[in-house]
Amino acid sequence: MSIQYYWEDLAVGSVRELGSTVVTAEEIKEFAEQFDPQPFHLDELAGRRSIYGGMCASGWHTCSLAMRLTVENFLRESSSLGSPGLENLRWLKPVFPDDRLTLTHVILESRPMRSRPEVGIVRSRWEMVNQDGEKVLQMEGYGMFGRRHPATPEELARIEAERGSG
């Protein structure tokens, strides 16, 4: 797969529709058995008796499904180098079996990486909604992307100066 998106191509404010996925009861249980074996993720009856009103996916499963859509519909055509972290991760509504989840991604901020002139950083927000348009997941993350052209010493000096005055 050839690279279509380098750091320079990721404009602040640009919105990407990253597709949809459906999660089944079997998948919810399989993930939970492996990584999050709490009763409301494993068993229909325990789910119905819980504050969620039904068996629901582990929040880590929901995040992982969002990641798969992000890789398939964006990152694998990009110069992505991974992520140092996330903020404001919110599991807003439970994800139930057979929910259809649709992901949107918007770029909030972009800057060169001071320690690596060949890398730029973007800050993005992901939002995932279910088939009823209810937001189930929101998070803001940092992503590192290779640049088409490395930062010049002047560019890095300017960033230092801006940071110093901030």
Binding site for its own copies (CB under 8 A): 34-38, 40, 50-52, 58-60, 63-65, 67-68, 71-72, 75-76, 80-92, 116, 119, 144
Sign of CA dihedral 39, 45, 47, 51: negative
DSSP letters for 54-78: S----HHHHHHHHHHHHHHHTGGGB
CB of residue 162 vs its own copies: minimum separation in angstroms?
24
Using CA atoms of 74, 80, 85, 86 in order, give the dihedral in degrees to the nearest 10.
-20
| H or E segment and range at residue 140 | strand 135-146
Q: Which amino acid is it at 7?
A: W
User: Least distance to its own copies from the beta carbon of 36, Å?
Assistant: 5
Nearer to its own copies, 69 or 110 (CB): 69
CB of 39 or CB of 161, closer to its own copies: 39
What gap in Å lies between CA 144 and CA 154, rounded to an integer?
Answer: 21
| Shortest Å distance, C-beta 71 to its own copies | 6
CB of 7 or CB of 91, closer to its own copies: 91
> Least distance from C-beta 2 to its own copies, angstroms?
13
